[in-house]
Structure 1
């Protein structure tokens, strides 16, 4: 049986070739002072993207309707999908193809060399009954390992896993299912009884991790309120999601954990519930996110590496990530680093993205504290074009959530933004380091901001490198930065939302 690497569509190839040509033209136009460092950016970013291997899926097709599947929006297809997956696994892999229409199901667990294909006109809709997502499986919740609800689509320690097509994955979360477990959020769910809120389970899980309770004993099964991710490949190699639209996710939308060679292409993350991050690579090595659209209830993309004691136990960074040619609309950040980043984050390259929404809080945020710790280095933005951004262009905040008082000082170094434009934002920079570990090597080159409503704030940061930074028609200088107000000029809540 032939093995077919799932690779670029012809449309994606054309987009990427145009991007490469545009990069070449831009490189010829750049002034000499920027060329050396910027050329290094492109060399590294392309090396990472080109080195990510696609999944290899056998050329076999398993039509769900052949296993009793009915896309009528009424029939529970859980058994039919399980039969199709079993047949696919027995044959050595292939593509499981849904019919157009609405396919209802419970949780789906994929195996190696297996693609779930949801074509245009098809909707895979999950039944929002928590008991269906038990027994508990090995998963990760806000950076901490546990035995919890199975993610809606899950793969554990598999190779060559894909979810493809032009269709929709509908998690069926709403004001009556999954989301109320958050408790009070955005003036909603205040009437959720205390016993049905996640707060107690969240605190218990974090306490177990701090005490070193083995993962197998961190069981959060029936009656727990820790919502599952929609798609979570865990410890997998060669993962692809392409052409899919995600809606109504219970929790984080797409959450690859401890995976290598991961690609998200032409994915639309459109879910506005609590904690509805778009794509959250955690402790992964080699991730490409391209031509995706984000319209979310939390961070569009959040790069993570486990939390606090579990992060130190696992000691696995998230590294070598390229984000390109994406559109970010609503979200707490276009790109976030953290706050679950104890294992460290490095080598993140973001380029040629558009961000524009009054409900987009920042373009970039790096968030940690002295309980998380973590080494964050080499985070680079190039050719980001933002319209309206609510609070900040770049925010680096080392007092997130628990704040000060821990014994694990985070280190942030080599963060840059070049050839970026912003039409308007409240502040260009909100940077707050820690006195014993100031932010190092923050660099802005060829950045233009049309309007800044309030002065930027930079505290506990080594002197910035500036080159051709123009805000509201005024060129920034080191003298101007020294004149900025101090920490007392800004008030920020524990989630780093500043006023």
Structure 2
């Protein structure tokens, strides 16, 4: 991405003239504002979408009923799913068809050139028996790789895979299965029960990550309380998720990790459990999320790149991600970057989306700290309509902490954040909330044609270089 000389000169002039550290309402002139821009980022977004390879499949159909499936909510069809997928892959690919009906199964493992297709009124219900998700597989939990229960739908090092159709995947997680392991009473946890934060779980995994223990030696699964993701393509190429609905996930819903060329189209996520993020690309590149509905118990979309030493060990940024034409309802955030972000995130394009719910906390959010570190740069938001949010329209926090002490030696870098054509009816507690670091201020934030109404506090900004405003109005005041 090239920055013009005019941009550089204007930006340096801002640095010399203005300082907004610990400033509640930073200002910049209209003349300066017109100089701060990248060359048409939306053309770059179009190029990313154009170049993403969508998988194609042979016309042959493999109906799971022909492999022994039973349209029964009580009789397992696990063997039929496996047999149909194996037959399809061995034949060179095609469509594994799930016809109308309700099917019970354990984990589904996809293979290259297989399109798992759900007919309308087909529902795949996943077993709540944890032993069905053994043996352990190479997976990840909150940005840390390890060996754990299989994701409900899993693909490892596969190419040209898809889940499509108008049916529903029901994880059947709830307050009596998977969710109590979160340790939260509202999700069924009872004092004294085992949970993911017990010493044998998250603390032990975190210690392994810090020591650099090889992934294959980080073995958990049975006897531990790590909830599996719902759909996880791991180190995959050319992935399509289209049309289906996901409900009642144990943990994160769609988690493409170390994957390239991922399309998520017209998908509905309706899942209100703990950590029920809708879509979490991690260490992934060339991702297109379009036309989706997110109604979640956590972030609607959260872009990740590994936690602490694991993210630095892998060293892959998530980049070239386009999110458009989506609707976000409930969730901790609409489009979020972090907090597992040690590998960095760059080139994220968010356009023509709608966010509206009294239970949506933030619209755009970046969260990290000095244990996570990471460079987050080139985040473009355009044509965003927000009905209401609870906390902030834009929140950038470099002091994010949820698990004890999160201070370390890895100073995060956040720069080049652009919001354009944003309309907000009810801005919540803050219009714009930025908390950078004195040692590493947030740099190059620009708001153009932004209108925020009914924010309790228009701006709260700490350790950030001057925000550039162009035709921006918050609570009726022009900035």
Instruction: Report the TM-score, using the length of structure 2 for normalisation.
Output: 0.90
Provide the residue aligned with 2:285 in structure 1. Answer: 285
Unaligned runs of 5+ in 1: 1-32, 477-499
Asked if structure 1 preserves the Cα contact closer than 8 Å seen for 2:196 and 2:202, the reply is: no
Aligned to 1:240: 240
Residue aligning to 1:459:
462
Aligned to 2:79: 79
Shift of 1:405: 3.1
Trace 1:85-234 onto structure 2 (pairs within 5 A): 85-184=85-184, 187-200=186-199, 201-234=201-234
Query: Superposition pairs for residues 8-27 of structure 1, below 5 Å?
Result: none
**Take 1:343 and 1:331, find their aligned partners in 2: how far apart are those partners?**
24
Q: Residue in 2 aligned with 1:468? A: 471
Q: Structure 1 residue 405 and structure 2 residue 404: aligned?
A: no
Distance in 1 separating the partners of 2:386 and 2:38: 20
How many residues are matched?
Answer: 444
User: Match of 1:424?
Assistant: 426
Is the 2:76–2:104 Cα contact (8 Å) retained in structure 1? yes
User: Could you list the per-position Cα deviations for residues 120-155 of structure 1 after superposition, in whole angstroms to 9, with x for gaps in the alignment?
Assistant: 110010011111101110001100110011000000
Cα distance in 2 for partners of 1:258, 1:281 equals: 8
**Higher relative contact order by CA 8 Å / sep ≥ 6: 1 or 2?**
2
Cα distance per residue 1:261-308 (max 9 Å; x no partner): 000000001100000000000000100000000000000000000010
Say which of 433, 437, 441 aligns to 1:434.
Answer: 437
| Cα distance in 1, alignment partners of residues 390 and 36 from structure 2 | 33
- Partner residue, 1:356: 356
1:48 aligns with 2:51: no
| Counterpart residue number, 1:489 | none
* Aligned mates of 2:229, 2:461 — CA distance in 1: 35
Structure 2: tracts of 5 or more residues without a match: 1-32
Question: Residues of 2 paired with 1:240 and 1:293: CA distance?
Answer: 16
CA shift digits 1:401-441 (9 cap, x unpaired): 15663100000000010010100122111100111000000
Question: Structure 1 residue runs of 4+, over 2 Å off?
Answer: 33-39, 187-190, 192-200, 402-405
- Residue by residue over 1:159-203, the C-alpha shift from the partner in whole angstroms, topping out at 9 and shown as x without a partner, is 001000001000010110000000125x44341534344443011
Counterpart-to-counterpart distance in 2, 1:344 and 1:321: 13
Match in the other structure for 1:65: 65
Structure 1 distance, partners of 2:126, 2:176, is 14
Whether the aligned pair in 1 keeps the contact of 2:143 and 2:307 (CA below 8 Å) is yes
- Equivalent-residue separation in structure 1 for 2:354 and 2:110 (angstroms): 33
Asked if the contact 1:273/1:297 (under 8 Å) is kept, the reply is yes
The residue that corresponds to 1:296 in the other structure is 296
Cα drift, residue 39 of structure 1: 6.2
Q: 1:442 to 1:36 in 2, by over 3 A?
A: closer
Q: What's the counterpart of residue 29 of structure 2?
A: none
CA distance in 2, matches of 1:228, 1:152: 7
SS at match of 2:306: coil
The equivalent residue for 2:306 is 306
1:307-322 equivalences in 2 (<5 Å): 307-322=307-322
**Deviation string for 1:227-270 (max 9, x for gaps)?**
00000000000000000100000000110000000000000011
CA contact (8 A) 2:306 2:342 kept: yes
| 1:181 and 1:192 in contact (8 A); partners too | no
Say which SS state the counterpart of residue 382 (structure 1) adopts: strand
